[in-house]
Structure 1
Amino acid sequence: MILRGLEVEQVRRFGDAVRLTGLGPGINLLGAPNEFGKSTLLAALRAVFLLPHGSKARPIADLQPYGGRGAPRIAVDFTLDGGDWRLEKRFMQRAFARLEGGGERLDGDAAEARLQDLLGVEAGKRGAEAMGLLNALWVTQGQSLVQPDLSDPARATIRSCLEADLDAMTGGDAAGRVLARVTADLAVLLDGRGNPRGRFRAAKEGEQEAAAELARLETRRQGLEDDLNAMADLRRRLAHEDDADRREKERAGLAEAGRVRDRLRDYDARHRAARAVRDHAAAQLAAVRQDLAGRAAWERDLAAGTARVAELEGALQAAQGAHDAAGAAHAARLEAVRMADAGRQAARRALDLAAGRVERARLVRERREAAAALDRLDEAARAVTQAAAELDACTIDDARLGAIRKAERALDAARAASRAQATTLDVTLADGARGRLVLDGQALESGRIVVTDNAVLRIEGIGTIRIEPASHGRDALRAELAGAEEVLRRALAAAGCADTPAAEAALAVRRQAELAFQAARTVLGGLLAGADQVPATAMEAARRRLADLDVRIARIGEAGDGTDDPLAMLEAARQAMDVAEARYDAAHRALLSPDETMRRAAEDLARLRAEWQVARDGATQLARDLEAARAVEADEALSARLAAGHEAAERAEQALVRIEETRPEGTEALADAAIQRLERTIQEGHARLAALRQEMAAREARIRAAEGDGLDERIAAQERLRAAHAAEDAACAREVAILQCLRDAVAAAERAATERYLAPLARAIQPALAALFPRAVATVEPDFSISALSRRIDEPFATLSDGTREQIAVLARLGLADLMQARGRPAMLVLDDALTYADSGRLDRMFDILTEAAGRLQILILTCRTELFTGLGARRLAVEPVGEQNQPAG
């Protein structure tokens, strides 16, 4: 099956007739951006082949032009089994179907029936799509990720292509009867979940109960043996715990630990007392040494203070002489500073006069600039006023032009609706007949003519034919068209324009006027002092500025005769001022130098007097303190106290050493720990002895009770009961194993037959699959879906990545198409926006697979990613408007 052309009109976004051109055998590619209408073309292709022309179901309603009105018309040219066919359908209003080819022309339901027979599809229910394998091969946008959803007729088509009989391969009715008998027998022994039931379950439960009772009795017997063994151990431990010699040794150890602790406490008391005596003697010795050190320091400080007083007296006399000489030099320089200051004042007055002349010249220049700015501001204000007047003269704006455009679009829609009710004439002129067919006074050419109103067709030499198109809604459409024309006329009149191009030109003139107005306002805004200032305010401020400058110039006056250069006079006055300032600075520095010397001399004199007084007072105080200390304790008595302190410290240290030599072994903490341990051992021994006696009594009672219960006889009876149940369980298990083996054998034969039945479909898919996934094998289920991909391991289809699942889904459709092609059934593959998840390597291999398959069937690819398919080498398609001769007449 080869699609050669597709023409649509009044289908969604395609209001006027367009045709998909360039179609041919092999791979065909339509690359266009989003919203171009690629999915619309695929929907039209499915509708013309698979939907009945009389249907008004949702898929047909969705084909109507945007706005909800119109009659979708679709025509397709195709080749099937070597014959050329043309199929044309119109839906909704004045619906019809026409099939031409093979020397026959069929209309209406006859055309639909013949088309279904050609394609091998069955009519859908209540106007739905016809059901067959073509539905699965024409993949709409977003469906390339999933495997084809096959209808019952599609599966029937595949089965007829496989040419096999499953019942014959599986043994037919005999195998079914065997499998049913096995299933019934298994149902007696196993439930639906494969768990035992009936006597099988009773045997298992009886064996489990007997085993549980047997385990309980064995546990009791083991407990009796444990009690007997434990009694022997308890008697041994009781004899150990009740040993009188060991108890006596523990009490003797406790008493010895108490005596050791008492000796340690007595030693600690004596050691603390000896250490206190030694610390007191050391403190007394340190006090004597501190007194001796203080008295020696006083003597050293007294000698140093006396020498310092003598030194300061000589320095004080030298400082007094330097101070007197500095005062005489200071008085001589004061007069020089006064003379330099008088010269500086005279230079300052000359400089102020020159500065006044320069300031007057600056104010005169500033006044000229202010007058020029006032003139520019006045000119800019006049330009803004003129531009505003020109803008107000424009009669059109964006809103009025928008109303004109809206009215023009409404007029186009009304015209399109009128053309939808038109009658179509297909004209084919014989040689030499040009000009002999005249429609309403206009000679016709070969092609399609669309007549929207009553018309007269005159055939020269034959007569005339009156054509009256269908009248359904024609008056309403004419009224709507006239109303749209009136709305457009009123919109143009309101804008003062003759037509839409004139309105566009008028709007361009308005925009130029707006630009000129904005430019004038920008110039004026740049001249204004503030963003919120108006021109009148700005000009008034400029005039006030001129008046202020006139006042300031008049206040300064002429400032001289005006013959000399003001800047030159200012520069000369500044130089004279610099000379006067230099003379004053020199005199002032000369004054400050003697003043600084005198200040330093005065500071040195005051400082030396203060230091001399402090040194003299300190020496006097040290002499008095030393005499007072010797009066309290003479130097000989202090030396004797030092010797006595040394002797007492040595005696205390020797006593401490003698006490430390008598230190007992261990510590008081260890002695306390030993006492606590021995006391706890004795108490725990008593507790263990009582617990052992109590445990022996309890075990003796259990032993007497168990010996009288007949455990051995009861254990033997339970072992016989468990063996009987185990034999019944084994018999049931053997029966189940036999039945399951028989069931599995029949199922294995059925699976093998199914695999042979599906082998042709697997062989059709496998070459392309191996090219994309080397050494991979697909698992094909009885419902013709691919459930897993076996590479190194089995991978379920649902766990594969989006890209791999998409590629496998495309390969499955290729396999189905090859199978149909090989059996002489019509097949053509259409992919809308597929292979979007493939990486570059996989995409190249898919291109190779599609190219190889294109030698056997036609492939149509619709995509918005044209650049990804440049390496495919496909035939490029285009959507072009139908020629002018096919446009509606009138």
Structure 2
Amino acid sequence: MRLLRLRVEHLRRFRAPVEIRDLEPGINLFAGPNESGKSTLVRAIRAAFFERFKSNAAEDLQPWGDTSAAPSVELEFEWQGAHWKLSKRFLKQKRCDLEIGARRFNGDEAEEKLAELLGYQFPGKGPSKAQHWGVPGLLWIEQGEGQVLRESVAHAGAYLKSALGESLGDLASSAGDALIARVEAERARLLTASAGRPTGEYAEVLRQHEDAGARLTALDRDIAAYRQQVDRLAELRRLRAEDEGRPWEAYRRQAADAQAKLAEVRGWRQARAREAQDLEHCVASLQHGRDQQAAYARQHQELEQRARDRDATGLQVSELLADRPRIDAQVEQAQAAYRMAEARLATARGQAKRAVLAADLRRLTAEQARLAADLEQARTLQARVQALRTRLQGIRPDETVLKQLRSLDRGLAELDAVRQSAATRLAYDLLPQQHIQAGDESLTGRGERLLLEPVALDVPGIGRLHIRPGGEDLADLARRRQETRARFDTLLAGLGAADLRQAEDQAEQARALKQEIELHESRLDGLAPQGVDAVSNRLALVEQERRTRSESLAALPQDPAGADAGTGAGTGTDQSGTAQAITEAAPEPLAEAQAERELAAARERLQAAERQAAQHAQALGLAEQAGRTAVAEWQRLRDAIQAPERQRQEQELTARLAALQARETAVRQSLDALDARIAEARPEILEQDVQRFTRTAAQMEQAAKERREETIRVQSGLEALGAHGLEEQRADLAREAEFIARRRDELQRRAEALDLLLEMLRTGRQALTRRIQAPLQRHLNHYLHLLFPQAQLDVDEDLLPERLVRTGADGAVHEAVDALSFGAREQMGLISRLAYADLLREAGRPTLIILDDALVHSDHARLDGMKRILFDAAQRHQVLLFTCHPDRWRDLGARVVEMGMLGAA
């Protein structure tokens, strides 16, 4: 089976139609990042085959948020020389059409035809599930399911066994399997088929034996409990005799005495709280008075400090005024030195500027000549490129259209060859002077003609013959050729070419022109990276700058030291030559750097003198201001302290502080006396005594009540147990348990015997099964040896890979497939599926292998081996490989379909 074309529309992310044509018979690689639509295409193929077109279970195929969309899938494939075309539409305007050559099927009939071909089933209702997928479910690996094989093989088991030519059901019809079936039936009466657990009568006897043992244990427990309750009743009666005196009342009286003492202590605490509050107010008032007294003392100290500050500022002002003449003389000297250094630097800079301007003129003259030459060459190249582009505009090459034209030309040739082989050949041998009229052509003599279309032959004197050659196939070929020719002519007309040869000549001419344009543009980029206009603008700027430098040089005043040399340079029209002569004849210029250093030193000395003068003036101003401020503050503070009101306040404060101090002493003595009485009473111990005695009384009374209730309950229980005759019941139950144990042992021996017999019979049948499995084993070993030479992959009777056998340093190593690593199980799963596909192909069954992101857990070495296996399998089967890691598969030699291009299309 070879898939030829796939088309989807309104299906998940593919809202617009997406079509994939010309699929290769071997490996087809679909590459793209996550969320690019690979799994969507796989889902589309599965839906086309597995989902009934009438089912509403295909809602996941609709594009997100578009409930009005009708997902559709079209598939074309070849099988046994016939062309199959399947079209399905889901949810809206549901339909299913299947074309097999000239035959057509619709609806349920079409779906059943597909299921019969590929070996799968449709569900009775609801969505299609794994148990319905059969052979495609085995060969089409979903993303992340490569290592899961057991269920897929189970669902496709019947088809695989039928492909072997002899199923295990045939074995069961033999006398040996009849015996196995009988032993299994006998064993099934005692043991379950899968886990070998007891069932039927055996399980019932085991349950009865376990129940009898549990009942014996319960009776023994009841007898022991009866004896314990007798002892407990005697103890309860003794304790109740002690409860008659009500001992808890004494503890309640002790709790009441402690509560009364605690109430007296609470009164002392309230009195202490009042005294403490009074002390707090007294201490706060006393502290406030002391703070005010300290403030008065600080003011006296501050007055003394203000007097000292007044005297110090006056002395500082006198010293600063005496130093003023010396500061002014230093500033005048620094200013004179700075003016001399400034004049010397101006002279040095004039000489340096003349030298710089002369050097710039020489550089600009050279750059002007170079730019003029580059501009002329660039303009020549630009004109050449423009002429080539004009020639290129007259040609309309399109590699994509050319590729389509070549493909259509090959298609026309193939269709003509098929038509020639399928056309009716009309050979004629007419008598002289006789002719036959074939349409507009008159046939005479002898010849042969190919009839590709219906024609009428007029035979004079006889009548007319109507010949319709080739039937529907030839008519279909004619229509297909006409459609292909129309597309071919349309594409030629779009290129403006008469035939394919002329179109290819135009493309070759266009390629040559492009290469020449690229060569000239490369040279042009080297001469003018930013364009010809940029070079022209740069040349104009250089010319303007050169004129500016020349004018600046001429405008400079003559250097007295070099005036004669400048006059002797001569006069001429070339200003740059004059400037160069002047520069070369000038004497050694003044040392500008030395003049700048001298000026900087003079500037620093001047700035230092100015800073010192400014600092002196600032210090003098600040000192004078500070003196005035100090005098004013001293006067203000002295007036405030010597005021009569202030003297009266200080006297009143002293008297108030003495009274508050006496009050504080009295309150503290009262508090000490109350604290001593409270401490002596120990209130926290009194509170604990109240709690302890109260709880003790409550617990003792509650315990007496519980003992009274327990006595009644134990006495009633003893009366009930004594009436049941526990000892007699246990004797009867022990005899019953012994009988059940003998029956259990009998059934156990029978079950073990049947189990052993069944194992021996199955071992014999497995040997026969292995001979039947030989074809599958051969295909497995073929692929496995490409990955592990000398290894073997054993399968069980259900055709499922069971054990991998490899040769190690210590001999053969047997590993269960389920115990292998995830990546190794994924590799064994793919190898097994390819072997199943070979088996189905030998049996004449169609195969198609789909791998969605398979082998993602394989290392580089194993992946290389699996690529060899896939490439080998692709010689016999078509493989659709979907991956988001195209770099891992680039050496597979397969055509790559970019998912991004499908989305863009």
Give the TM-score normalised by structure 2: 0.48
Larger radius of gyration: 1
Give the TM-score normalised by structure 1: 0.48
